Every structure is written in structure tokens, then in C-alpha cells.
Structure 1
């Protein structure tokens, strides 16, 4: 895990818009090119309409013209590392290979590292769509 991802995820976490849960999350993805894309969670009074940090980072990456990341870092202000939600696990699996490392961290420095394949075993992928 690179220190720059930790720093960028922590910095963008500060910008999270969370007036309802007060639970800030930041995410940083390193694309294959080496560029880093970040995202933070953005809540909405209509709860299901919010955006997760991981989804924001993926959207920034795709908007920049990239479609693959090789490393991810997610940080939250919780007592233990928080794994991405189910929807974000599927989103991450769309743009990262199964062996990509995802580091989940707390603001106090506790980290847990897992591969994408561990976060979403049996992921639905392009192979399921082949006819």
C-alpha cells in the first residue's frame, strides 16, 4: 500500500457531505496509469440517493478516461476498518482484477488488507454475459 493513497483518501474524507449520518468515508484508487482518483461519500435526504466514496472515486477515474485500477484505499472514522458496501464491492470488481489489494482503514491507523476476490467471492462479471 502506498502512503500517497492513504493521504489522499484521508484528505478527501474531510470533504464528505454527511449531514445525516455524520459518517465520513474517503476512497483513493490508483489507476493502471499511476494516476490517483479520489471520492468521498455524499449523502442526500432521500437516503438511497447518496453516493459512496468508492463509487465517487470510480466515477472520477472513468470520467478521466481510465477503466482499471490496481490499488485501493478506503478510510472511515470507525473503531475498526470498514469494508465497502455490497454495491461498491461489485463496482470495484468491474474495474479491478481479483488480485487487486483493497486496504480498509480507520482514521486512527488500523488497517486491514484484502484482495477484491476476498471481498466479493463469486463476483458477477463479464464472463457471465458471454453468449
Structure 2
């Protein structure tokens, strides 16, 4: 799916806006994610912390898991945007990257943002060049 600049900007805006809903009482580091599906639907997610830090869930996984519950498969994902309040580009953690490998196609674009409102485009394959993508690896 070829994305137009206005679609990318709208997706990034969705990721930026949703991060205000993050539950981050420990890190105070809100992250928002937005998933664009090929049918035009957008599902957003935020990071949700827990005092038992292992129970914390990242924004990217929150959005992707919600997509699965709504019946979307990896072939339905058109793009992902991630936003945080930081100077450099926000990148998904390793757990989120592994989930993206499982729930998105390798060429899915991921739009990373920084504090200067710049957007960096990468793919899942670029984020995880040696992905563990099956039980046969």
C-alpha cells in the first residue's frame, strides 16, 4: 500500500495525541502508537505501567494486540507510528519488535518521531534484520 504524506502525518498525529492517555506513574515516559490498517481503520495504544514492572505493556503491543482482538491479521497492517516526548527518535523495544515480526509483514513501514516533529521511516525488517520468525529458526 502506497501511503500519501497526509496519511503518514495523520497517523503520526494519532500516535502523538493518544500518548496523553498513557498510564506511566513510575517512568513518567508516555508513549503512543497508532496502527493504520489497509481498510483505513486506525487503532491506537499507549504504554501501561505496573508496579510489577514485568507486567508493563508498551504502546505498540497494546495497539497491535487490540487489532488482533478486532480480527486483523498481519496482512491487514499498512503502517505503524510511534511517538514519545524525547529529543531523539523513539524506537520500539526488542519485545515490541519481536511482536511486530509476528503480527506485521517484514516490509511494513514504521514511522518513528522525535522532539523536533521529524519523522523517520523504517521497516520491520530494518528494525529486526535477523528476525526470529518461526519455530524452525
Three-state SS of the structure 2 residue aligned to 1:72 is strand
Partners of 2:23 and 2:9 lie apart in 1 by: 24
Is the CA contact (8 Å cut-off) linking 1:10 and 1:107 kept in structure 2? no
1:33 aligns with 2:77: no
Instruction: Give the C-alpha shift of residue 28 in structure 1.
Output: 0.4
| Structure 2: gaps of 5 or more residues | none
1:73 aligns with 2:81: yes
Partner of 1:113: 121
1:103 aligns with 2:108: no
| Structure 1: gaps of 5 or more residues | none
Question: Structure 1 segments of 4 or more deviating over 3 A?
Answer: none
Please, which moves more after superposition, 92-101 or 76-85?
A: 92-101
Cα deviation, 1:66-101, whole Å, max 9, x if unaligned, reads: 012120100010110111000000111112111111
Please, which moves more after superposition, 21-30 or 102-111?
A: 102-111
Q: TM-score, normalised by structure 2?
A: 0.87
1:44 aligns with 2:50: yes
Partners of 2:116 and 2:31 lie apart in 1 by: 13
Q: TM-score, normalised by structure 1?
A: 0.91
Is the CA contact (8 Å cut-off) linking 2:36 and 2:78 kept in structure 1? yes
Q: RMSD of aligned C-alpha atoms? A: 1.5
CA 1:9–1:23 in structure 2 vs 1: closer, same or farther (change >3 Å)?
same
Is the CA contact (8 Å cut-off) linking 2:88 and 2:115 kept in structure 1? no
